[in-house]
Amino acid sequence: MTIPNQGNVLLTFVTPVLVRRWPDAADLNRRLREVILAAESRDPGMARSNVGGWHSNDDFFSWEDPAIGELRARVAEGTREITLHICGEGLKGRDAEVAISGWANVSRDRAYNRPHDHLRYTWSGVYYVTLGEQEPELENNGAIEFLDPRLGVDFSNLPGAMVGPFLRVQPEACMMLMFPSWLRHWVHPFHGRGERISIAFNVNLRF
């Protein structure tokens, strides 16, 4: 196994997080929004880590709409990128069965997600369709926060060090995040008008 480094310092226990933006996805997002809001009007949804908001069933990628097929292709593209980055030469001569599942989320004022993980999968991720009209003065409004799984890491007090108890990301429309499924995360409450729409997903790779 090759351990990444910066000069003479090995970057051990690195946790990869893919941050991918598609600036050409405005039309895709418009179509996804229509499909998801129509589904919300027909289905009461379910409750998992979400507090408030709407959570569809896990069959999102089986819905029959070309926009969903296009998003699935982008999830597959992101999967290839992060897997190649982590495995490198280890992928030579290997084929993988790829299984993708996902669900839609619609968050309105004060909705949030409790800390959770997605164990049993290889990668998990989220794609942001709309952000709603967020109250700008509130810090971390609707941010997703990843929790460092290492015990004691929060005792470091080195100024500016690239270690700490969490990584916080402010969502953007057309942004996809992908990360190891064991990485615990949660979503800060969304405060504002309209709806914040996202698609969460899991990817399983079997070599």
Tens-digit pLDDT string for the chain (207 aa): 677 888 999 888 889 999 999 999 999 999 999 999 999 999 999 999 999 999 999 999 999 999 999 999 999 999 999 999 988 888 888 888 999 999 999 999 999 999 999 999 999 999 999 999 999 889 999 999 999 988 888 777 777 777 778 899 999 999 999 999 999 999 999 999 999 999 999 999 999
CA geometry: angle at 111 spanning 181 and 136, to 5°?
A: 100
Instruction: Give SS3 for 33.
Output: helix
Name all domains of the chain by residue range, CATH numbers in brackets.
17-206 (2.60.120.620)
* pLDDT for the residue 32: 98
* pLDDT for the residue 186: 97
The Cα-based distances of 103 to 43, 69, 107, 118, 207 in angstroms read: 13, 14, 13, 13, 25
Packing angle of the helix pair 26-42, 66-87 (nearest 10 deg): 120
* pLDDT for the residue 1: 65
Q: What is the pTM of this model?
A: 0.94
Buried b (16+ CB within 10 A) or exposed e, 140-170: ebbebbbbbeeeeeeeeeeeeeeeeeeeeee
* pLDDT for the residue 115: 97
